Amino acid sequence: MRVVLAEDQYLLRDGLVRLLDAHGIEVVAAVAHGDEIVPAVVEHAPDLALLDVRLPPSFTDEGLRAALALRAERPLPVMILSQYVEQLYVDELLAGGGAGVGYLLKDRVFDDVQFVGALRTVQAGGTVVDPQVVEALMARRTAQGRLDRLTPREREVLATMAEGDANAAIAARLFVTEKAVAKHINAIFTKLDLPPATSASRRVAAVLTYLRG
């Protein structure tokens, strides 16, 4: 995997480069300024952009605006790595549809293998969102439309899917069988009116529907 990294803090940026290199991921460009993101992606054509949200010059939403601009031009997978739950930013990032989106909180990344696994999931077209981001989104939304059709258990399964878990991990977390998880997921696909497609595509579509509320 080839990655463009945007992080303004030198020590964190350098640490991420070393961590990714140790896992066989090539950082083709590591920039510290919001204005450098798009040119770096255009020049290097990476497989994924790993972006902080608040970057120079204004330290507001440079990373997010760059991600939106890039995804408007090409299906580039983007992982946001932030200190904050930027609810509006998540909405904007997901609003355009498509897959290959992640949002992780810096102070909740405790394991390098899990972190790299999340990057690979997003690069492959999946969606990975930190549980605290999911909780924040749900706290300010009133379920409506198709999501109203889901049972409490189905919503629980869907929330866990949003965190990037496979069926086996969902079953372990919810103390049910994998067969039961598969049954709930099929019911979710039906109730969300998701057309027949590959299982992976339908999972991504279900998660995006859930996160948009």
pLDDT along the chain (213 residues), means of 10: 96 96 97 95 96 90 87 87 75 66 88 94 88 66 64 89 86 92 90 71 75 64
* Residues 12-44 pLDDT 10s: 999 999 999 999 999 999 999 999 999 999 999
DSSP character for 196? S
Closest CA to 129 of 80, 163, 167, 175: 163
- What is d(CA 6, CA 22) in angstroms, rounded to the nearest whole number? 19
**Phi, psi of 57, rounded to the nearest 5 degrees:** -90, -20
DSSP character for 82? E
DSSP character for 54? S
Per-domain boundaries in the chain: 2-136, 141-212
- The architecture of the domain spanning 2-136 is 3-Layer(aba) Sandwich (3.40)
Beta-carbon neighbour count of residue 213 at 10 Å?
15
* Chain centre distance of CA 130: 8
What tokens appear for 128 in the block? Answer: 């990975």
**Phi, psi of 71, rounded to the nearest 5 degrees:** -70, -20
CB 62 within 8 A of CB 70: no
Given CATH 3.20.20.70, say whether it is the number of domain 141-212. no
